[in-house]
Amino acid sequence: MTLFPDMLAPVMNASILGRAQKAGLLSWGAVNPRDFSEDKHRKVDDRPFGGGPGMVMMAEPLAEAIDSVKKRGSRVIFLSPQGERFDDAKASSLAKKKHLVLVCGHYEGVDERIMTSFDEEVSIGDYVLTGGELPALVVADAVARKLPGVLKKEEAAAAESFATGLLDFPQYTRPRVWRGREVPEVLFSGDHGRIAEWRRRAARSATRRKRPDLLERAN
Ligand code: 4GX
């Protein structure tokens, strides 16, 4: 649900998400609340009661837009810095839903009375963007890659290693020496046991160094 539907297609139709749609694993669409404005100028925002700067999105166009797509089993989500923080666990739980309606706000926000139309309010982090489109794309991407079949087998295996709660182990590819820097010897040993053990240690040490907070939770 967005006033700027053109922002979505380049991201939604590229790369892995594009491939997933061709395979019939997911579909998406944009709905513009402006198409539901009752105003002859297609107005969707107005000045805040009580005064103050900026504009507020009106409840009615948004409500009509939501009703036009909502069905049994839809989960209606409002993206906002005031929401519950989005993370990998949230992505997994949303991936179980049949239909997500991601509502993108603009301006200073939306008329508070629309909030009861949302099942939940989600934030992608503590910073303020110009609109909810980038957060909606972040959620769509993170949820889509959880759907069965969306990732190739090798991509899914790599994803599983993050689900351990550790950062990824370091990866190397050709050439074997790049600007004088060598690839760790063990990776050429052909000993899959030793390689797996090295990767576990490397993942742990990268996590301890860069994200000690994750290690607390993994333990
Ligand atoms: N994680 N934004 C919402 C409009 C707005 C303003 C005030 C409610 C109150 C964001 C984020 C985010 C920008 C989306 C402002 N809505 N959304 N928009 N961070 O910054 O989710």
Residue 132 CA: nearest ligand 1 atom is 14
Residues ≥6 apart with Cβ < 8 Å to 37? 43, 44, 61
Are 135 and 163 in the same domain? no
Residue numbers of the domain that contains 174: 159-215
CA 188 to chain CA centroid, Å, is 36
45-87: pLDDT as tens digits: 999 999 999 999 999 999 999 999 999 999 999 999 999 999 9
Q: Which residues of 146-162 are buried (b: 16+ CB within 10 A; e: fewer)?
A: beeebbeeeeeeeeeee
What are the DSSP E strand ranges found in 24-96?
45-46, 56-57, 74-85
Three-state secondary-structure class, residue 106: coil
Give me the chain's average pLDDT, please.
95
Are 122 and 167 in the same domain? no
Q: How many domains in the chain?
A: 2
Residue 219: pLDDT band with limits 50, 70, 90: low
80-101: pLDDT as tens digits: 999 999 999 999 999 999 999 9
Q: Is the CB of 48 under 6 A from ligand 1?
A: no
Predicted pLDDT of residue 162:
63
Predicted pLDDT of residue 161:
61
Q: What is the CATH number of the domain that holds 96?
A: 3.40.1280.10
Nearest CA to ligand 1 atom 11: 81
